Structures are given as structure tokens and as C-alpha cells.
Structure 1
Amino acid sequence: MGISKENRIWPRWASTVGIMREEEITVHAFCTNWQVTLTVDLDLLCAIQGQSFTLIDRSGRCKVVGCQGRTFFLAIRERSGVPAMRLTSRSKLNYLL
């Protein structure tokens, strides 16, 4: 039996907000309603949720005033030259869209 694409193995650098902060990963929240991208403050997130908190398969409420949309998270590891990596599985993303 093979591994489904939904059960993918996430890279270590994306596993927790503490590691993403240490690795200087840029994280954005993308609103599915207004199609805007907001920068996530990893220092603040670590202080509130703790360093072991993960953004994988999480969604949040949009922080734009008056917006009722949901966000999913994108991680950008600028040193690697790899484009933004979606931290949300396809099934979760389909639910948000």
C-alpha cells in the first residue's frame, strides 16, 4: 500500500513555529475571501502559542477589518531558492476555498 499525497511528510524546517523562527522562514497568511496576503509575526506567535505550535493544516480568521474570510499559511525559505510552500493539505485547502 502506497503513501497518499495527503499523508505527505513535511520538512523539518516547517514543523513548528519555533523552528521556522530559528531558520528565518517567512510565513504569510493568505485570505481566501479577499485574496490578500498578510505577514505572520513568528515572534508573537511563539510568545502566544509556544514554540512547538504548528501551522501545518491550520487555518485562521482573516485580520483585515470587516473580512469574514479564512486564511491558510505559506512558508518561504528564501535561502533555498524554493518558492512558497503551502502548509495546508489539498483536502483542507478545498474546504477553505
Structure 2
Amino acid sequence: MCSLWRMGKNEPLIPAWVRTVGAMREAGVRVRWSCRTCGQWGDADLAKVEQAKGPGFSLINRRPRCRQPGCSGHVLLLYSPAAGTPFRPLQWSSERI
């Protein structure tokens, strides 16, 4: 299995329900975007992403351009498994801390 999903005998580093847009929609995961350049943020429309890119598309380590008028920044994508849980960055690093 790809090292992005497993590291040795340990549990997966990234939960299965976060790996693809289709899996996130099925699990009811909330995705939010945040731009450090202009300070704007909002909720991502996973249905639109799935329609445009397909259910197997992954948002992990993606930094799309901010779509706010006049902003040239890139957004950070964050996910939350359910209401009342904190948002976490949709990032994965191969470096060990």
C-alpha cells in the first residue's frame, strides 16, 4: 500500500474517509478553505468538486488559488469529521517529526 496511507505496521496516517472527495461526501466531512493573503474563508462545496473532478479526486496537499476578486493567494484546505470537532489541515508530510 502507498506510504501516504500506511507507514509500516501502524494505522493509516490519513483516515480513509478523507482520502477522496467521494469518501468525504459519503462520510459527511466538512471542508473549509482559508486564504492567508486576503483573510477570507468559507465552506467548500464538495458536490461541485466531485462533479468537476470525479469522486476519486483527492484534496490532500492541494493549495488552489484564492477566488476572491483581486487576491493572488492560495487557500489552505481544512477538514472536520463532524459538527463540534476542530478543523484540521488537509495536508500530509512524509517527514517524521
Alignment RMSD: 1.9
> 5+ unaligned residues in a row in structure 1: which ranges?
92-97
Name which of 30, 34, 44 aligns with 1:26: 30
Q: Secondary structure at the match of 2:64?
A: strand
Cα deviation code 1:49-94 (max 9, x no counterpart): 0000001011101011111110111001115x53111112469xxx
Distance 2:51 2:93 in 1: 29
> 5+ unaligned residues in a row in structure 2: which ranges?
1-6
Quick one: which amino acid aligns to residue 83 of structure 1?
Answer: P
**Equivalent residue, structure 2, for 1:62:** 66
Question: Are residues 65 and 45 of structure 1, via their aligned partners in 2, closer, same or farther at CA, if it must alter by over 3 Å?
Answer: same
Q: Following superposition of structure 1 onto structure 2, how do residues 8-27 of structure 1 map, counting pairs within 5 Å? A: 9-27=13-31
**Equivalent residue, structure 2, for 1:71:** 75
**Equivalent residue, structure 2, for 1:95:** none
**Equivalent residue, structure 2, for 1:49:** 53
Identity of aligned residues (%): 32
* Richer in strand (by share): 1
Moved over 4 A (4+): none
Count of matched residue positions in the alignment of Structure 1 and Structure 2? 84
